Structure 1
Amino acid sequence: MIHEVDEGLRLLLVDAGLQESGVDLVFDAPTKDWSARRNAPTISVFLHRIREDAARRRTGAAEEHDAEGVVIGRRTPPRWYELTYLVTAWTNRPQDEHRLLSEALRCLVRSDALPAHMLTGSLAELGLTVEIEAAGPGTDGPSASDVWSALGGELKAAIDLRVWAPLAGERTAAGPPVTEGLVVRSAPGTDGDGADGDGIEPGRRLRYDGASDPGGQGFAAQRERQLPPGRRRRGGAAR
């Protein structure tokens, strides 16, 4: 799921024309060593925090059906996660960095969600909205100074970007639908008469005439039973 969010953000920034102006778009951590090696204007989209949105957690399972409406599996609800990115611009002059940040910010605030045609993989299959928020109100996460201190670099202008994305639940395949009646086998015979080689009589499949509409009493209702020749019902004549 995380790499699919990365791809959606990349497509969003590319659609704004940032790469057409010779700007590199990377997802590397902007460490001190990394910044010393860059040789072109660059926008870094660095993921530094992943946290579950527990308020959106759900229980249970949803059924999956094929084209004929038959249940083929069950899937637990997706779990939502908040991904926090640090978006920075890197050039030789602060003015150019601010211009790149302005273009990136304009692109990121254009919509409150990643466009559906930019979603790939499991995000596209789920068909759920992937919300984004750029330069929004402060959160209870690490401060900008803490992030830069961990990266070993100096504090500089950056856009805090948050994305809420679903992680697909676990899928369990369903067994094939029941299309035949119940099979009843008798206990092993004592003398083996009428049984197969291991003393077990062949199974009989129970069928009911008109079982498609059992009526108000269900299958417990009395039904006419055909007797073998020479047998008679209790209190009646032989048939």
Structure 2
Amino acid sequence: MISDLDRTIENILTDEIPIQNGEIDIKFDQPTREWSARLSRPTINLFLYDLRENNVLRQHQWERMMEANGNSHTHDISQKRTPFRIDCHYMLTAWAADPQDEHRLLTRAMLALFRFPILTPRQLTGELENQPFKLQTRLASHDKLTNPAELWGSMDNEMRPSISYIVTLALDPWKAVSGPAVRTYTLDTGQAESLPDLHRLEEGTAVTNATIGGIITKSKEAQSGLQVTIKATGQSTVTDKNGRFILGALPYGSHTLVVWSSDGKPKEKEITVPDDNYDVEI
């Protein structure tokens, strides 16, 4: 994937500078003394010197996966942990026989990269085309490359102007986990016999309530913003953007679910709590 990022950056510089007939080389090498001595033409070099996780963008929650047809409202669901966000740190330098030519190369390269704080889909190549997030870039960040002399010293080369260029990639090592969707969960409350050693309610004091969830569809398409009510109790909620609803504090037994469609006509469905399906097709 990182090699695809290198190709993407090379294509941006080639198109935006522009570079014709190979008059300028674009490389991704470590700029050691031996390497720079072998250069035969003006060169823009982007040395990938560091990779680290972006903690600011770190997410711990699981995401629900879509089916191939774009639906997420099935009785079996797939979930997957969110990808890691990795900052790729490049050191941008220009190499030419004359310092003024180097400065011109640096300016042209910076102008080209500054134009794209977010890489566009048409610019991405290879595995980057399937990135789940937009590829953010940062050029010449003030808090990066704060001690370039140390970096140049480690490469045994003379210090020269260098600019930080950071691209944030998503790396996904996780596999989706599939299983049946949870439709009902229950909560028992009452008087405990003994806590914390014995987790059991005294006989006759337990009260069981259930929370249920389902999906409202029309012609198999999820319906958002519809009111869903339990008849006779007044408990009510509204479906989310995926057509899902959740209703809580329901006693076990028979209930009537009422869905108010966009045309104002109610659709009723008899349900039994607990059950494995509370979906309604209107």
- Return the offset for 1:50: 1.0
Structure with a larger share of its residues in helix: 1
* TM-score, with length taken from structure 2: 0.58
Cα deviation digits, residues 58-113 of structure 1 (max 9, x gap)? 12322322217355743210111111111111111111111111100111111211
- Return the offset for 1:142: 5.9
- Return the offset for 1:154: 0.4
Correspondent of 1:152 among 150, 156, 170: 156
The percentage of counterpart residues that share the same residue type is: 28
Matched, 1:29 2:85: no
Cα deviation digits, residues 139-184 of structure 1 (max 9, x gap)? 3x6611111111110000122112222112412353699xxxxxxx
Correspondent of 2:178 among 155, 174, 181: 174
Q: Is the 8 A contact 2:149 2:159 kept in 1?
A: yes
* Residue number in structure 2 paired with 1:215: 271
Read off the aligned partner of 2:30 and give its amino acid letter. Answer: A
Structure with the larger RCO, 1 or 2 (CA within 8 Å, 6+ apart): 1
- Return the offset for 1:49: 0.9
Read off the aligned partner of 1:170 and give its amino acid letter. Answer: W
Name which one, 1 or 2, has greater alpha-carbon Rg: 1
Correspondent of 1:81 among 75, 79, 86: 86
Q: Is the 8 A contact 1:9 1:114 kept in 2?
A: no
Q: Is the 8 A contact 2:138 2:167 kept in 1?
A: yes
Cα deviation digits, residues 156-215 of structure 1 (max 9, x gap)? 0122112222112412353699xxxxxxxxxxxxxxxxxxxxxxxxxxxxxxxxxxx762
* TM-score, with length taken from structure 1: 0.68
Q: For the structure 1 residues 74 and 94, does the alpha-carbon distance in structure 2 shift closer, same or farther, using more than 3 Å as the test?
A: same
Give unmatched runs, 5+ long, in structure 2: 182-268, 277-282
Structure with a larger share of its residues in strand: 2
Mapped to 2, the partners of 1:132 and 1:118 lie a distance apart of 13
Correspondent of 1:94 among 87, 96, 99: 99
Read off the aligned partner of 1:156 and give its amino acid letter. Answer: R
Residues 162-171 or 40-49, more deviating:
162-171
Residues 110-119 or 143-152, more deviating:
110-119
Mapped to 1, the partners of 2:175 and 2:62 lie a distance apart of 9
Q: For the structure 1 residues 52 and 33, does the alpha-carbon distance in structure 2 shift closer, same or farther, using more than 3 Å as the test?
A: same
Q: For the structure 1 residues 175 and 37, does the alpha-carbon distance in structure 2 shift closer, same or farther, using more than 3 Å as the test?
A: same
| Aligned pairs for 1:21-170 within 5 A | 22-64=23-65, 65-67=67-69, 69=71, 73-139=78-144, 143-170=147-174
Q: Secondary structure at the match of 1:157?
A: coil
Mapped to 2, the partners of 1:136 and 1:219 lie a distance apart of 56
* Residue number in structure 2 paired with 1:10: 10
Q: Is the 8 A contact 1:8 1:114 kept in 2?
A: no
- Return the offset for 1:17: 3.6
Q: For the structure 1 residues 128 and 219, does the alpha-carbon distance in structure 2 shift closer, same or farther, using more than 3 Å as the test?
A: closer
Mapped to 1, the partners of 2:273 and 2:62 lie a distance apart of 32
Q: Secondary structure at the match of 1:215?
A: strand
Cα deviation digits, residues 15-36 of structure 1 (max 9, x gap)? 1144316101010111100011
- Give the count of matched residue pairs: 184
Q: Secondary structure at the match of 2:9?
A: helix
**CA RMSD after TM alignment:** 2.6
Mapped to 2, the partners of 1:134 and 1:219 lie a distance apart of 56
Q: Is the 8 A contact 1:126 1:168 kept in 2?
A: no
